[in-house]
Amino acid sequence: HPKECMTASLVIADNLRMDPAEAAAQRMAWLGTSGSGKSYGCGRYVEQLHPANIPVLILDTVGIWAALRLAADGKKPGLPFVIVGGEHADVPLDLLRGAELARFLITQNASAVMDISDYDPQERAPFVADLCTALLIEMKVKAIRRPRVVVFDEAQDVVPQIPGKGEARMCKSVSALIRKGRNHLCGTVILSQRPADVSKSA
């Protein structure tokens, strides 16, 4: 693993600790009912990846992940994530530039929240498809291979078991990233309160 990714063990649970680079390359799922702590638990996981210099990309369908920029007290600075789109955006989200955004984030080893919560499923599906397809392509470049993590909040909205109108390509590209990302040191995390509605191929 790259030396810059080595740090103290990452705490997954009270009785489970992992090397951060090893943890980052895994496929994980945080499943539970609404309010059960999925986003909080995954947020703590993401916070522990940052000191190990492991980039994290979060696809936010809910509009809550900008909170990573604040510390627990709600006042001090939190993690230096770029917020793309949404109420707290550093830069606006351009639905026509998903592939370009992916290339930039990978080459810069940036951590970012892509807030797509303002758009309905049919509007955002092409953006998600372009983004995930380009992420997988860019991560294959040996010069920029490094551990990283992609988080899909409310995964049933981006990789549904039964795709809605215009969602088939999105579902295929997200599934491919989840299934193949680990081959390129990229781990994925899905969060869902409706796991039965998440694509089984993912």
| Separation between Cα atoms, residue 175 and residue 178, nearest integer Å | 5
pLDDT in tens, 84-100: 999 999 999 999 999 99
| Separation between Cα atoms, residue 163 and residue 165, nearest integer Å | 7
Confidence of residue 74 (pLDDT cuts 50, 70, 90): low
| Separation between Cα atoms, residue 169 and residue 173, nearest integer Å | 6
Residue 5 is predicted with a pLDDT of 44
| Separation between Cα atoms, residue 136 and residue 99, nearest integer Å | 10
pLDDT in tens, 141-178: 766 678 899 999 999 999 999 999 999 999 999 999 99
Cβ 144 vs Cβ 138: under 8 Å: yes
- Mean pLDDT, residues 129-150: 88
Position 21 pLDDT exceeds 60? yes
pLDDT in tens, 174-200: 999 999 998 888 999 999 999 999 999
The mean of the pLDDT values for the chain is 88
Chain Cα centroid distance, residue 87: 19
pLDDT higher at 7 or 121:
121
Cβ 122 vs Cβ 133: under 8 Å: no
Residue 73 is predicted with a pLDDT of 67
Counts of helices then strands in the chain (DSSP H, E): 5, 8
